[in-house]
Structure formats: C-alpha cells, structure tokens
Structure 1
C-alpha cells in the first residue's frame, strides 16, 4: 500500500466513524475529495453543501452541481450575503476570517436542520503554511472537521485521490472567491464583484486555464499563467479584452507581466500591489501593453 493509499483509507475510516457529515463544498478539488470520501464512507448519510453568495461565480456554482452529481452525493445549496457584514465589506486583512465565519455558519445551521452533527471542510495539510490564511482561524473556532489536514494529505496527494475517484476536477486550478481580486483596504462591493466575475468569464471563454482579474478601483490587472502570457498578447485577444472590460466599467485594462501569482493583493503584498497599480495607471509600463500591441506596425 502506498502512502497516499494509506492516507485515503485513514481519512475514509475517520469519516466512517461519524453518524453523518455535511461537507462545505465549493466544487474545487479539495472539497470534492472530501465529498467523495464522505460518500464512499457514509453513502446517503453524507451531504455536500454549497453556500451561494455574491463572491461565488455562477460558473463555479454550476461546476459544484456537476461534480456533486459525478460523486453521487446529495447536494444542498444555501444562500447568504457577505455584503451584509460591515467587517467583510471593509476588506481589511481579516476579510477571509469574516467570510469563512459566515460561510461556515451557514453550513452549521444547515447541518442542524438536517440532523447532522459534523461539518467538514477541504483544508489540506499544505494550507496552514501557505501564507496569510485568517480563514483557518474560523475553521478552528467553529470546530469544523478537516479530514485532509487531520491525516496529513497534501495538495499533490489530494489530486491523486481525486484521480483515484475519477473526479473531473483532479487537475482543476485553485479558485479563491471573487473578493480575493479586490486589494486589501478597498471596499468589497457588488459592482466590483460583478465586473470581476464577467471579466474572468471572458478569459475563460478564450481558453485560459489559470488567471485572475484584479480590480484596483477601476483598473483591471489581468494575471495569466506564465506559459499563457504569449497568447494573452495576441492582437485579437488584446483588442477584444480591452473593449469588453472597458464596457464592464473598468477605466484601464492592464496585463501583469509577472503572470499569475496567488495572493498578489493579500496583506503581505498590499504595498507592492498598490505600487504596481499606481505605476500602471500613471506610466506606460504595463497599462500600454494592450495599446502597444495595436501599434506594432508603427
């Protein structure tokens, strides 16, 4: 038996020891693996629950529904709004704590209504060491069970287990909520969330795999994976994305030449992000990448 197989069995046996579990389910690879393990261990006594709010793209909700169907697990969707919380809207460096507290609170309430005692999430063994993660404090405070963390299942092993279960999300890139696209200190509003969602939907339509559109108060900073940068500079895409994003309400459209980076507007990189945004707005360094592409014959 391999190490991954041993961890899989340990996590499944752990879940089997509960009368029933509700999995906080985003449809990403981590929560999908927990849902698959829970369904494997408990059958009809396992429930996946997705919290729908302004920070969850509609496409992600549809993906979650599809993956739950793949697994065969019962799927519940509950609705709430983080924007009702002033602490969340303020968008300080504890935003993820406020968000996770509300989201998991919805999970706990749904579990009580269903008569389920245990709520699980997809925190894996790599998460605690992956930078500023205030959301993990909410997991601890609310006593959410994290079977992947409990049995030392790391991200690469999560993907192996997803492949074992034949899940379509085994290679799916990580996807944080839409509020992560708004720099710390800039208020989270429905307008900003909506235009980011629509902007990222456009990049998805163009076939990009790993990307973010950061909203620096009307300046759109597009990040794509380094191996996709060349495609992002193609004239047809440049002209289309500039026109479409300006139509969504962005004043400037930029391409970040560093490529996609997780947490590039999180607290530890806040100052750098602000400097990047100011440079892009005031100088031709990045903002004119898209404009320059249409002047290559000059």
Structure 2
C-alpha cells in the first residue's frame, strides 16, 4: 500500500471517529463479520464500553460459524454483547424469497434493535454496511433508511479492503476471514426459504470447507441442485478426482440430489446479478 492510500484510509478513520463520537451512544447490529466487528471496535475506542452495545440476531439463516466469531470478537475486545431471536421466517413475504427478501429480514432486525435502543437509552442504531455495498443490489438499505439506522462505514467511504487493513492494524481476528452473509442469500429467488433449505446450505458448506482451505466458497441452492462457487484460483483443486468425489458426497449428504460447479467462479452477490447495482428495492 502506497503512502497516498495509507493517508486516505487514515483520513477516513478519523472521519469515522468523529461520526461515532457525535452518536454519543449506540446499539450496533453485530454479525461478527469483518465490517460490524471493526465498527464495534471503533465505537468502543470513540465512546467507551458503557456507551456501546452489540446485538446479534439469531435465526436459522444466521451461520453458526459466524455466531462463533461474534462471540470470540466480543470477548476479545471487551464488547457488551447480547443476542435476540429474530423471526423473519414467520413472515410470508420473507419466506416467499422474492427479490425484496432482504428488506423484510432487515426490517424485522432493525425494528427489534430500534426498540431495544429506546428501551435501554442508547441514542443511535448503527449497522456495518460499507461503501462497496453501494455497488450491489441491497434492498436492506431501504429498511435502514425507513427506521433511521445509520451506516458510518459507508458514510465515510470505507471499502471492504480498507476495513480489512484497519482491522488488521487493530488486531482483530476478523481481518482476513471470508465474507459470510446470511444463508438465505444462497437460495435462488422464487424458491421459498425454509429451515430445511438453510440447513442444507450450511451443512454442505461446512463439509466442503473441511476438504480444502478455499479462498471463497458459496453453495447456491436451486432446489434439488446445489451450485458450487469457489474462487477462480481454486477451481483447479476440483480437477483432482478424489477432491471432486468428496465434494459430490458432501452435497449428497447435505440433501442435494445433483451438484454442479460454476465455471465463472465465486462472485459476490451472484444471485443479484440481474438487478441494478446500488438499488435499495425493486
């Protein structure tokens, strides 16, 4: 990283500190991923432990490995951390899995966070959306706007790469972990979200991750078919017949009858490709 890039990141970091100080106190939607973990650490540094509460929403769509990381990060940095149960699967609009699914999920979560912040006397609810999210289809942004949830990382222009760099400097264990969005984001639009399909995805990804240290991996659910995306650098790993057979077994044991490899490789938000980048809703 050259000096100009370092200076740019440092300016954004200072801007973030200013935004957080002006929040006075905050509830943070905390998944334990790269972004929300750095946001929580920055808020702790700016406001102090008594003015920051991290809240993790638990539901079948939230990956277990992500929850374990959230607990680890909170314990490591001294972050007050609570869990709440969310029930987006009970919402027919969410379960129908239209292109607006994320809107209904985020509405459920943010309504709970706003109510909790009001009850406990915290001034602002924040989430970890970053500047790169504006280049993807994000109907959840609409829910945030409607409920007054702020995204400081996005406000100051921090990208995922910059957040990873800052996280590494801060000693956070999340700085190099792969992104891990909700399991429902792997289900093809129009195919209803069910606990069983979420289980299939999580089990298949867990089994596949045990075979190799993939740079990125997603299992996309298309009914009986499971579509595997790995980074283009890792596609060659599956040329090994032993690995390929074990991957096939992983899909079968997770409940898929067929499996295929996406030769285009892993793409962030692959199921959103038909939609306009930066859209908040259809």
Which has more radius of gyration? 1
* 8 Å CA contact 1:43, 1:73 repeated in 2: no
Larger relative contact order (Cα-Cα within 8 Å, sequence gap ≥ 6): 2
For normalisation by structure 2, the TM-score amounts to 0.90
Q: Secondary structure at the match of 2:206?
A: helix
Deviation (angstroms), 1:247: 2.2
Which sections of structure 2, spanning at least 5 residues, go unmatched? 1-5, 276-282
- Residue 200 of structure 1 corresponds to which residue in structure 2? 205
**Aligned CA distance change for structure 1 residues 267 and 229 (closer, same or farther; 3 Å):** closer
Map 1:1-298 onto structure 2 (within 5 A): 2-44=7-49, 45-128=51-134, 130-206=135-211, 207-266=213-272, 268=274
Deviation (angstroms), 1:224: 0.5
For normalisation by structure 1, the TM-score amounts to 0.85
Distance 1:54 1:24 in 2: 17
Distance 1:188 1:194 in 2: 11
- Residue 294 of structure 1 corresponds to which residue in structure 2? none
Distance 2:81 2:107 in 1: 21
Distance 2:11 2:273 in 1: 37
Which deviates the most, 145-154 or 182-191? 145-154
Distance 1:30 1:199 in 2: 25
RMSD: 1.6
Deviation (angstroms), 1:125: 1.9
Deviation (angstroms), 1:267: 6.2
1:231-259 Cα shifts (integer Å, max 9, x gaps):
12322222222123212221102111211
* 8 Å CA contact 1:54, 1:82 repeated in 2: no
Which sections of structure 1, spanning at least 5 residues, go unmatched? 270-298
Count of aligned pairs between the two proteins: 268
Which deviates the most, 137-146 or 166-175? 166-175
Q: Secondary structure at the match of 1:145?
A: coil
Distance 1:159 1:246 in 2: 35
Deviation (angstroms), 1:17: 2.3
* 8 Å CA contact 1:184, 1:267 repeated in 2: no
Distance 1:230 1:109 in 2: 49
